[in-house]
Amino acid sequence: MPLWVEEEETKKKQEQFNGKKNIGEHFRIFPISNWTEMDIWQYIFSEKIEIPELYFTHKREVFYRDGVWLAKAPFMKLKPNEKLETKNVRCRTIGDISCTGLTLSKANNLEDIIQEVASTRITERGGRADDKRSESAMEDRKKEGYF
């Protein structure tokens, strides 16, 4: 078992869960919400899990908007100062194409992705255009029940 998994197991044993539930209440469970992006990639690697090709580097037509590379899509209208370029990119997170930013990358396999994640200082959410709406965009969505 990888060291990071053993550490997580120890941490989980130390955490207490209040299982009391009143009528009308609901539990929301996020089993990997405390995992880092690195934890997830190492788990995928160790378990040999197949993942969609979008996570690996591929050539794609993109444009740069508000500090984020976005993919060309029929409904995405370019602003006057924007131009399409073909770049080697990959997705660190996959969501709505209108707000999911792409990462300039050369990572063609899981080992390369793990190395890339280890060397970056930008989180996978750092490329989400919708997170740039405000400092509290993620927390606002949590309050709205997005998660």
**Of 81, 79, 119, 80, nearest to 103 (Cα)?**
119
pLDDT in tens, 18-68: 678 888 888 777 777 778 889 999 999 999 999 999 999 999 999 999 889
Residue 74's pLDDT band (boundaries 50, 70, 90)?
very high
Decide if 75 is inside a domain: yes
Decide if 24 is inside a domain: no
Full domain range(s) for residue 52:
33-143
Count the domains in the chain. 1
Contacts of 71 (CB under 8 A, 6+ apart): 60, 61, 62, 89, 97, 100, 102
Please say whether the beta carbons of 128 and 37 come within 8 A: no
3-state secondary structure of 17: coil
Decide if 20 is inside a domain: no
What predicted TM-score, i.e. pTM, was given to this entire model? 0.64
Residue 140's pLDDT band (boundaries 50, 70, 90)?
low
Residue 16's pLDDT band (boundaries 50, 70, 90)?
low
Decide if 15 is inside a domain: no
Decide if 128 is inside a domain: yes
> Any idea which residue has 């792409």 for tokens?
102
